[in-house]
Structure 1
Amino acid sequence: MKKILLWAMLLLPVAGICQQQEDKGSTVGLYELHLNEVMAFFSKDHVDSAEVIRDLNTLNTILNKDIGEEALMKEIGALDMVKDSVAFVKLVTTKPAALYGKKRFMQVQFVEEHPDSYVSLYSLETNEGMYSAESYALAYSKLSDRLKNMSAAQGIRDRITALKKLSLSGIKAPDFTRKDQNGKTIKLSDYRGKLVILDFWGSWCGACRQSHPHLKELYDKYKGKGLEIVAVANENVHGSKTPLDTGKAKWLAAIQKDEANWVHVLNDEGTGAPDIVKAYKVGSYPTKFLLDKNGKILLRITDCLNIEIDQMIKSILDK
């Protein structure tokens, strides 16, 4: 049971989905891309399969490199799921996601280093979450004309157009007023002068909550240098009609359980205040914005493994 759970954590730690592998003692093949999926992506184009296989093997060799998976398997294997339950849960909800994020970033690097590879175009299509709207458009712009002229590239161009409409980068962040988790009335504009991560999440969202340990690390590292996190929870997602008291109780319990000790507000607190989620055009969770010290939106990301916010915070506050 423990091995199957571990493989699930290593394979898709955010989605929590896995397929049981034949060799439970190895991490080889955990992250690799598959030829049939790549070729299906190019079904409307004429591509050289030998070239695809060559480049796919190159990328899979990179992705299958052990960057800590085997050590993690041993570390988790040494724990008793019952006696060491707290340590076990903490371990499997932090380290596997971090490793998975590094593997996905390896794909980002591959695309940058191989601008004329069919595999780069496929990776850009399937690894969109590791980019902001701006960096996604930039990565596409650096691809060769050969790739850009393919039918398979049209979906990426369409996505770039859609992302630009949602990014809101460069505009003043819409202000809002809410009561925080302690009952104190706060306004987003109260935090002018600080770098702010605006985090849209929900107690029901596994990927959102798996990002909390990393947010905690960022907060502990940079709050003394001017970083604040303001989290907006949506407890009525996809048209659900969760009673306000129920949603609030789940929200407060998740904050406490995850030790997410920063500023939290509810999108719907029952006061009839303007909808924050709609103001920021949020349709998926988690979605995070980084705001500068004047309240201007610097970037938006929609994947908890995207590290662009980390990189920007470091460039601004580590001086």
Structure 2
Amino acid sequence: MKRLILWGMLLLPLAGICQQQDTTVSTKGMFDLDPGLVMTFLSKDSVDKNEVLRDIDALNALLRIDIGEAAMMKELAAIDREKDSTRFYNFVTTKPAALYREKRILMQQFVAGHPDSYVSLYELNDNDGMYSADSYTVAYTKLSNRLKNTQAAQKIRDRMTQLKKISLHGTQAADFTRKDQYGKTVRLSDYKGKLVILDFWGSWCGACRQSHPHLKELYEAYKDKGLEIIAVANENVHGDKTPLVKAKAAWLAAIKKDGVNWVHVLNDEGAGGMDIVKAFQVTAYPTKFLLDKDGKVLLRIEDGLNVEIDQTIKSMLDK
């Protein structure tokens, strides 16, 4: 899918592109929407191809506006990965993700501003991670009847149904007890009275860890105003039963390297407690929940770049 391709492009430095010293590298078209993907998505519907291509060009023109790509690539090329690995790591875990977040917000804005465009239909389907269950439904509702009557729209309705089933919106979050990274016993219910981000991640998850710098900014801004983050790490996501000692070591090393100094627990700490991941129906990483001060679910998102949690926290704590 296009999103995976684009995300991979931003992670290319991890694969060695950082060795390139050509600071004139072009970033034009880095985020371009592929017409072939759009037409495949619409293949069961009778659409005017020229109209679709026109709207693709309109979106691509918006996405080609340089909001920092050239400067990012120039800065990347100036980093010596071998001699300054810390600077390199800090760069690739902050700049690309922040830039991609802004581009995806532009995609959302295109959908909102073009309710009768087939490209908006495609974007809503392909960019679903930038929406909570409620906002996804709202965005779909605002589309024209012409779009809603397409076969392609059924994919969005199916996703809406799935999101509603797993959103847990308004329900009391399942309580759990674990030892944190320092060996202290913590309970989720101990944090009633605070807004809580419940962050499901893993040391193996690149997208999860690329969301850490932004979470650090959010935590710094609101921890004294009533925000707490409780991170639940799943180190056995691939089904291979990682020995507890190895899983714990990877978990603690990632916490230290990323400098994420909030509450951390392991899903499986070998104590026979409830499976937190199953209790919250988590199947994608990162998945984040925002809990209100009574411990009820306000939002669930399955994307490290979604900004709805930020907006909700700001509206509730910036008073």
TM-score w.r.t. length of structure 1: 0.93
Using the TM superposition, give the Cα deviation of residue 17 of structure 1 relative to its aligned residue in structure 2, in angstroms: 8.5
- Per the alignment, residue 243 of structure 1 pairs with 243
Query: Does the Cα contact within 8 Å between 1:10 and 1:96 map onto a contact in 2?
Result: no
Using the TM superposition, give the Cα deviation of residue 74 of structure 1 relative to its aligned residue in structure 2, in angstroms: 1.8
- Per the alignment, residue 232 of structure 1 pairs with 232
1:81 and 1:10 map into 2 onto residues whose CA distance is 19
2:11 and 2:241 map into 1 onto residues whose CA distance is 29
Secondary structure in 2 matching 1:229: strand
**Is 1:172 equivalent to 2:172 in the alignment?**
yes
2:107 and 2:234 map into 1 onto residues whose CA distance is 32
Query: Does the Cα contact within 8 Å between 1:11 and 1:100 map onto a contact in 2?
Result: no
Using the TM superposition, give the Cα deviation of residue 276 of structure 1 relative to its aligned residue in structure 2, in angstroms: 0.6
Mark the CA change 1:15 to 1:179 in structure 2 (over 3 Å): closer, same or farther.
farther
Using the TM superposition, give the Cα deviation of residue 60 of structure 1 relative to its aligned residue in structure 2, in angstroms: 0.3
| Identity in percent | 66
**Is 1:108 equivalent to 2:108 in the alignment?**
yes
- Per the alignment, residue 287 of structure 2 pairs with 287
2:12 and 2:74 map into 1 onto residues whose CA distance is 21
- Per the alignment, residue 153 of structure 1 pairs with 153
Which residues in structure 2 correspond to 1:135-146 (within 5 Å)? 135-146=135-146
Using the TM superposition, give the Cα deviation of residue 77 of structure 1 relative to its aligned residue in structure 2, in angstroms: 2.2
Query: Does the Cα contact within 8 Å between 1:32 and 1:60 map onto a contact in 2?
Result: yes
Mark the CA change 1:289 to 1:269 in structure 2 (over 3 Å): closer, same or farther.
same
Alignment size in residue pairs: 310
Query: Does the Cα contact within 8 Å between 1:130 and 1:305 map onto a contact in 2?
Result: yes
Letter in 2 for 1:192: K
Using the TM superposition, give the Cα deviation of residue 155 of structure 1 relative to its aligned residue in structure 2, in angstroms: 0.8
2:182 and 2:97 map into 1 onto residues whose CA distance is 30
Secondary structure in 2 matching 1:264: strand
2:240 and 2:13 map into 1 onto residues whose CA distance is 21
Secondary structure in 2 matching 1:282: coil
Using the TM superposition, give the Cα deviation of residue 18 of structure 1 relative to its aligned residue in structure 2, in angstroms: 11
**Is 1:90 equivalent to 2:127 in the alignment?**
no
**Is 1:216 equivalent to 2:221 in the alignment?**
no
2:82 and 2:238 map into 1 onto residues whose CA distance is 36
Mark the CA change 1:202 to 1:288 in structure 2 (over 3 Å): closer, same or farther.
same
- Per the alignment, residue 42 of structure 1 pairs with 42
CA RMSD of aligned residues (A): 2.1
For each residue in 1:53-87, what CA deviation from the matched residue of structure 2 results, as whole angstroms up to 9, or x when unmatched? 11111100001110011111222222222233211
- Per the alignment, residue 20 of structure 2 pairs with none
Which residues in structure 2 correspond to 1:1-319 (within 5 Å)? 11-13=9-11, 25-319=25-319
1:198 and 1:15 map into 2 onto residues whose CA distance is 30
Using the TM superposition, give the Cα deviation of residue 249 of structure 1 relative to its aligned residue in structure 2, in angstroms: 1.0
Query: Does the Cα contact within 8 Å between 2:93 and 2:209 map onto a contact in 1?
Result: no
1:235 and 1:83 map into 2 onto residues whose CA distance is 31
2:222 and 2:145 map into 1 onto residues whose CA distance is 42
Mark the CA change 1:149 to 1:9 in structure 2 (over 3 Å): closer, same or farther.
closer
Secondary structure in 2 matching 1:31: coil
Which blocks of at least 5 consecutive residues in structure 1 are unaligned?
Answer: 1-6
Mark the CA change 1:178 to 1:10 in structure 2 (over 3 Å): closer, same or farther.
closer
Letter in 1 for 2:99: L
Which blocks of at least 5 consecutive residues in structure 2 are unaligned?
Answer: 18-22
Using the TM superposition, give the Cα deviation of residue 10 of structure 1 relative to its aligned residue in structure 2, in angstroms: 8.1
Secondary structure in 1 matching 2:289: strand
For each residue in 1:232-286, what CA deviation from the matched residue of structure 2 results, as whole angstroms up to 9, or x when unmatched? 0111113221111111111111111111100000111111111111110001111
2:191 and 2:76 map into 1 onto residues whose CA distance is 40
Which range moves more in the overlay, 79-88 or 152-161? 79-88
Query: Does the Cα contact within 8 Å between 2:14 and 2:92 map onto a contact in 1?
Result: no
1:13 and 1:238 map into 2 onto residues whose CA distance is 21
Query: Does the Cα contact within 8 Å between 1:287 and 1:302 map onto a contact in 2?
Result: yes
Query: Does the Cα contact within 8 Å between 2:198 and 2:232 map onto a contact in 1?
Result: yes
1:140 and 1:99 map into 2 onto residues whose CA distance is 26
2:158 and 2:295 map into 1 onto residues whose CA distance is 29
